[in-house]
Amino acid sequence: MRLDKFICKSTELTRTEAKKLLKKGMVRVNGEVIKDPSTQVHENNAITLDNGASEQMLSARSSRYIMMHKPAETICSNVDEVYPSLLHYIDLDKAFDLHIAGRLDADTTGLVLITDDGRWSHNIISPKKDCPKTYRVQLRDEITNDKQDALITQFSQGIQLQGEKDLTKPAILKIITSNEALLTITEGKYHQVKRMFAAVGNKVVGLHRQQIGSIKLDEKLSAGQWRFLTDDEIQSI
């Protein structure tokens, strides 16, 4: 982790304040004054902050892991755009230092995992990790009984999305009613679920993520609410 980030994680300081202290030569790593904020450090380094009167040993706050029930008309970004960032719902110190592991569209609701542990979120986001995500999908057009088996097969064999070279990876489609389905995918291409149904001539009119890996959206959370993940949930990723 960068030295300026480490200082932020172990104090109440902002990134700008941390950089100022570094510039003034107030931070030592293993006894040596370090001024470059991009210096890579890890937990085993002895990092101290000298405020003139005393020297304080810094230890980084442990990482935070959160699940949130994303409401519609919020965005999975750290900056507000047309809609506000969903990080505004997290009433924690330095909430905007967290990031969202796997974005949802502004109109999509449901499970979002939020953390400041980049290695952990990589296991969710990286296409190489094949982490399954399950969506409940409301459809404009009915999938009549006679078309269901063919569609399930088509999704399992891969769908050709507009503008993409390769087929989508095998996806599991379960029809719940003629207008509602559960779709599990292991990728996170831009608007993937909407584009998969568009490619077969249908239209997604409602989308809700209910599971990532083995982590299910907690039914006790209503839209806009969040809770910390349990140790088992964290380890499951």
Query: What whole-number distance in Å separates Cα of residue 235 and Cα of residue 147?
Result: 40
What is residue 70's three-state secondary structure? strand
From the list 105, 107, 141, 218, the catalytic residue is: 105
Secondary element (H or E) of residue 216: strand 215-216
Active site residue 107: no
- The span from the first CA to the last CA of the chain, in angstroms, equals 21
The reply to whether 193 sits near ligand URA by the rule CB under 6 A is yes
**Least Å from the CB of residue 141 to ligand URA:** 17
Cβ proximity to ligand URA, 169 vs 191, nearer residue: 191
* DSSP codes joined into one string, 3-36: HHHHHHHHSS--HHHHHHHHHTT-EEETTEE---
Decide: is 108 part of the binding site for ligand URA (CB under 6 A): yes
Nearer of residues 123 and 184 to ligand URA, judged by Cβ: 184
168 binds ligand URA (CB under 6 A): no
Give yes or no for residue 208 binding ligand URA (CB under 6 A).
no
Q: How far apart (Å, rounded) are the C-alpha atoms in residues 3 and 28?
A: 10
**Residue 207 binds ligand URA (CB under 6 A):** yes
With respect to ligand URA, which residue has the nearer C-beta, 34 or 106?
106
Return the active site residues.
105
Q: Where on the chain is the footprint of ligand URA (CB under 6 A)?
A: 104-105, 108, 191-194, 207
